[in-house]
Amino acid sequence: MHIVLVQVVVRHELLEEFARALLVNAQQSMAHDAGCVRFDVGQEPDDPTRWVLYEVYESPDDHRRHRESPHFRAYDEVAARAVTEKRVTTYVGRQITGPSPEG
């Protein structure tokens, strides 16, 4: 399994637009992207401009294909305006919890 961890800081004035675009992207990725096992989203309680995206794919290729999807591109257009800092780390999954949506 291939983990993609994205930590971002978002412009305060674009928070609502960013949240909407990100949550649609997360839901669409889980619904439609082959090999997308998990797409969780979190927001720091003490600083609502700080978000995390926790994505798990069956392979790095599945992540590459996700980035070609229309829902990723729609999100990325908003993120290009809204995100001021971004840190991406990838990991090999050593334990991934529970069933994948594909069983």
- Positions in the binding site for its own copies (CB under 8 A): 3, 5, 7, 19, 23, 26-27, 30, 37-45, 50-52, 54, 56, 89-99, 101
**DSSP state for residue 54 in the 8-state scheme:** E
CB of 13 to its own copies, least distance (A): 19
What are the φ/ψ torsions at residue 69 (nearest 5 degrees)?
Answer: -75, 155
Residue number with CB closer to its own copies (81 or 87): 87
**DSSP state for residue 67 in the 8-state scheme:** T
Residue number with CB closer to its own copies (47 or 68): 47
CB of 63 to its own copies, least distance (A): 13
The Cα 61–Cα 33 span in angstroms is 11
CB of 50 to its own copies, least distance (A): 8
Residue number with CB closer to its own copies (24 or 65): 24
